Amino acid sequence: MTLSLAPMQGFSDQIYRSTLCHIGGVDVFYAPYIKVEGGEIKVKSLADIAPEINNGMTVVPQVLANKADDMLLVAHAVGKLGYTELNWNLGCPFPMVAKRQLGAGLLPYPEKIDSLLNDFEAQSDIALSVKMRLGYLSPDEIWPVLDVLNRHNIKEVIIHPRIGKQMYNGEADKRIMPEIVAKSAHPVAYNGDILTAEQARLLLDKNPTINNLMIGRGLLRNPFLANEIKGETLNISQKRSRFSDFTVEIAGRQLNRLQGAGHFLQKMTTYWEYWSQMFNDQHKVLKMVKKCHSVDEYFSVTEMITNNYPLSDLA
Ligand SMILES: Cc1cc2nc3c(=O)[nH]c(=O)nc-3n(C[C@H](O)[C@H](O)[C@H](O)COP(=O)(O)O)c2cc1C
């Protein structure tokens, strides 16, 4: 079974991926999406997946595009860096993206997906996998899209069973997975709302042919989740010290990367919105981090939290 870290803008960057890799349990790391603007790819997006800072990990780059030319540009750039697989984002639900027929916003147009894939396949050797929602406006949109994908050379179809309009509301519809697996000609992977090892086990029991689970927010809030799914148990004191090392390493590396204490504190607060869930009193923990006004204060407050605060059931 493969466990993968979901692509997450603002989170699954190289610093986070490589630090999570030290904790173990995750087999494949998806990088946040790369897009083409004005015929160009941002230098920052390619720097994040440079092979020399991503060695020792299996990383899959992702593209957000609705034109074959843009997709080919990204495929060529990642191919030059040595990557052999590119993941296509057909799931991003944000209105600014979706209304431009990108991400989940392309799902109501299976004929466009078909024509893009025809053009792409004719000109690229990069293996393409797809990460998609059930639809943008309706979950029925998935069936014609699956028919299209079945006619193409797709390495894997990763399903996040929500529709775009839902954003992250409601629950991921895990019950639809057996029907998708039955109708897909390609290997199917699952993504969405896996927060505990028990939820992973239930999903895999009900879908025996799924052998890739992609996890996003579950790993953000509990970096040991992949270990737990694989049955590797750590005692509380091991968890506490590894969690402390993990958060200190990410903070130290972000501090080197970001200009100024303000940016650093802002960035670390976004992590703690998830990490605070490792503790019993998550609201109090988050509030304490938010109140830090200097880098030194951040490190001393978070050291106190990770060494002393009672861990929640998650840990
Ligand atoms: C902060 C954030 C950023 C995300 N960025 C991306 C992205 O760049 N590409 C993508 O395909 N999905 C992105 N997603 C969606 C996740 O990859 C994943 O599909 C979603 O969080 C559901 O999985 P989960 O319940 O395990 O978190 C993002 C999600 C979050 C919360």
Indicate whether 213 and 83 sit together in one domain: yes
Nearest ligand 1 atom, CA 160: 19
pLDDT at 156 exceeding the cut of 90: yes
Q: Which residue has the tokens 């590894």?
A: 242
Query: What are the distances in angstroms from CA 96 to CA 55, 92, 99, 147, 220?
Result: 34, 10, 6, 27, 25
Indicate whether 296 and 155 sit together in one domain: no
Nearest ligand 1 atom, CA 218: 26
In this prediction, residues 289-294 reach a mean pLDDT of 98
Indicate whether 108 and 184 sit together in one domain: yes
Q: What is the DSSP letter of 235?
A: -
pLDDT in tens, 161-201: 999 999 999 999 999 999 999 999 999 999 999 999 999 99
pLDDT at 315 exceeding the cut of 70: no
pLDDT in tens, 48-93: 999 999 999 999 999 999 999 999 999 999 999 999 999 999 999 9
Indicate whether 296 and 170 sit together in one domain: no
78 domain residue, yes or no: yes
Ligand 1 center to 214 CA (angstroms)? 10
pLDDT in tens, 255-265: 999 999 999 99
The predicted model scores a pTM of: 0.97
pLDDT at 286 exceeding the cut of 70: yes
Residue 234, pLDDT score: 87
CB atoms within 10 A of CB 308: 9
Residues 6+ apart with CB under 8 A from 5: 12, 17, 20, 26, 28, 29, 30, 214, 215, 216, 219
Q: What is the DSSP letter of 223?
A: T
Indicate whether 217 and 284 sit together in one domain: no
Q: Which of 229, 248, 278 marks a domain boundary?
A: 229
Residue 314, pLDDT score: 73
Residue of 103 and 234 predicted with greater confidence? 103
pLDDT in tens, 210-247: 999 999 999 999 999 999 999 998 898 999 999 999 99
In this prediction, residues 132-157 reach a mean pLDDT of 98
Ligand 1 center to 6 CA (angstroms)? 6
Ligand 1 center to 168 CA (angstroms)? 9
Indicate whether 59 and 82 sit together in one domain: yes
Ligand 1 center to 69 CA (angstroms)? 25
Ligand 1 center to 195 CA (angstroms)? 14
Residues 6+ apart with CB under 8 A from 49: 14, 31, 59, 61, 78, 81, 83
Q: Which domain holds residue 148?
A: 2-229
Q: List, chain by chain if needed, residues with CB within 6 Å of any ligand 1 atom.
A: 6-11, 32-33, 62, 89, 91-92, 131, 160, 191-194, 215-218
Alpha-carbon gap, residue 254 to 252, rounded angstroms: 6
Indicate the top mutation candidate among 8, 87, 96, 130 to test ligand 1's pocket, ranked by most ligand atoms within 8 A of CB: 8
Query: Atom 23 of ligand 1 has which residue's CA nearest to it?
Result: 192
Structural domains counted in the chain: 2
pLDDT-above-90 percentage for the chain: 97
